[in-house]
């Protein structure tokens, strides 16, 4: 890994997206011809002075093949640049927006992601910003997870409704980093699964203030009340994952993945 990032080593091929304060581009490494994804971030100045890059890399050091690794990183003109393997395929978010998708097949992509997060949990890591855009369904293999370490610069106070919908209630309080733990990841995985099954997140509100109140204070409706043809066991799995009390949720993504796997086998 380098401290100063040389953008001239890469040819920008085109934009992939602009999540939050980032810009993501497909690029080609000129020396090798390998295609990669460049995430370019301009974090707040107070974070740039706090070893942010080193902390992001430490939070993303997992050996799980289901996690998209950071291949290179550095600073370029006060911008943090993270280089990832380029995954050909659609995110879970993109497939939900398309509406015409196989719910059970997409739930299996979430299961793949949960297994990857479980492997990271076993290594002492947590994600902290799981949502449908973070799960990429590769064309040539299982779904994979991106975004480990990015919770360190996310501005939680100004999240829009799309990202806020997948934040656990403890993350929305005044307790600093309380949301960055295994049980917080479980809640987010449950919310993603709920959205895949029903077509919408577990709490649905038009503005951020109402959505924050709902996530903190209200239990979501059973997913079977929102859509049809859902096994009762899936209601039970999601009720546990989405419990507002972290201590009553599955302890980690491994427990959630095992429960989700059993529920999908009966569907």
pLDDT at 49: 65
Tell me which residue has tokens 């997913």: 223
Every domain range in the chain assigned CATH 3.30.200.20: 7-85
pLDDT at 179: 44
pLDDT at 204: 87
Domain 7-85, CATH: 3.30.200.20
d(CA 168, CA 172): 7
pLDDT at 178: 43
DSSP state, residue 28: E
pTM: 0.93
Every domain range in the chain assigned CATH 1.10.510.10: 89-265
> Cα 176 vs. chain centroid, distance in angstroms?
19
**C-alpha angle with apex 128: 225 to 198, nearest 5 degrees?**
15
Per-residue pLDDT of the chain (267 residues; tens, 9 = 90+): 458 899 999 999 999 988 767 899 999 999 999 999 999 998 877 776 668 899 999 999 999 999 999 999 999 988 999 999 999 889 999 999 887 789 999 999 999 999 999 999 999 999 999 999 999 998 878 899 999 999 888 877 778 888 899 999 999 865 444 445 999 999 999 999 999 999 999 998 889 999 999 999 999 999 999 999 999 999 999 999 999 999 999 999 999 999 999 999 999
DSSP state, residue 3: S
- Homologous superfamily (CATH) of 89-265 is Transferase(Phosphotransferase) domain 1 (1.10.510.10)
Q: Which of 193, 202, 195 is nearest to 233 (CA)?
A: 193
**C-alpha angle with apex 145: 138 to 251, nearest 5 degrees?**
135
**Token digits for 44?**
């707040």
**Token digits for 5?**
């990032």
């Amino acid at each position: 890994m380098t401290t100063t990032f040389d953008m001239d080593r890469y040819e920008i091929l085109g934009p992939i997206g602009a999540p939050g304060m980032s810009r993501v581009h497909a690029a080609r490494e000129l020396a090798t011809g390998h295609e990669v994804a460049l995430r370019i971030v301009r974090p707040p100045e107070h974070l740039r002075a706090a070893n942010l890059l080193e902390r992001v890399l430490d939070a993303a050091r997992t050996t799980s093949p289901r996690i998209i690794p950071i291949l290179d990183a550095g600073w370029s003109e006060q911008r943090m640049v993270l280089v990832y393997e380029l995954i050909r395929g659609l995110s879970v978010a993109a497939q939900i927006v398309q509406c015409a998708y196989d719910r059970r097949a997409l739930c299996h992509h979430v299961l793949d992601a949960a297994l990857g997060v479980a492997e990271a949990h076993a290594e002492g890591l947590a994600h902290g910003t799981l949502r449908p855009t973070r799960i990429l369904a590769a064309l040539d293999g299982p779904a994979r997870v991106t975004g480990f370490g990015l919770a360190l610069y996310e501005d939680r106070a100004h999240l829009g409704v799309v990202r806020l919908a997948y934040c656990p209630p403890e993350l929305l309080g005044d307790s600093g980093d309380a949301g960055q733990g295994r049980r917080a990841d479980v809640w987010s995985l449950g919310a993603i699964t709920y959205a895949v099954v029903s077509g919408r997140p577990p709490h649905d509100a038009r503005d951020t203030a109402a959505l924050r109140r709902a996530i903190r204070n209200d239990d979501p409706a059973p997913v079977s009340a929102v859509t049809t043809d859902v096994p009762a066991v899936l209601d039970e799995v999601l009720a546990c994952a989405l419990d507002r009390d972290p201590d009553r949720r599955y302890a980690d993504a491994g427990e959630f993945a095992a429960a989700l796997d059993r529920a999908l086998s009966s569907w």
